[in-house]
Amino acid sequence: MYKKVVTGIAILLGLVTLANGVFMTVAPESWYWLVPGVPDRGPFNQHFVRDIGINYMLIGAAFNYGAMYEKHRLLLWLMPTAWLAGHAIFHVWEVLVGICEPESLIVDFGGVTVPALLAMGLIYASYQLQTNE
């Protein structure tokens, strides 16, 4: 049961990040204006949004591939988790140094912090499952 929950969360995270990346790459300006808090961070930059979109597509692919191939999960999920966690930490840093207001952490929570927390939980669970076999 535990393995199924871990796999399900990984697939969900993978599909959401993959879809977000496709949206960012295919329609960067629409993505920019539709995602709460993004326009508050600076002017629209199509190249930048697409660059990050490619990252999200790769993150989604890694989580989905790891969900399918248990043997490689930990390795496949490690770097995407590092990126998502670093992204969340960067958002906190922006608040700490006064670039953004504390409310931005609430606005960003679902799209920035939750994926990082889920990814870290998946790394922990994957490690636990691997060491208990």
Tens of pLDDT along 73-90?
Answer: 999 999 999 999 999 999
In sequence order, the 6+-apart residues with CB closer than 8 A to the CB of 131 are none
One-letter identity of residue 53: G
The pLDDT > 90 percentage for the chain reads 89
Tens of pLDDT along 28-59?
Answer: 999 999 999 999 889 999 999 999 999 999 99
Q: Is the pLDDT of residue 131 over 90?
A: no
b/e per residue, 103-121, with b = 16+ CB within 10 A? ebbebbeebbbebbebbbe
What phi and psi, each to the nearest 5 degrees, are found at residue 72? -105, 5
Q: What are the sequence ranges of the domains in the chain?
A: 2-131
Instruction: State how far the Cα of 91 lies from the Cα of 27, in Å rounded to an integer.
Output: 24
pTM above 0.85, yes or no: yes
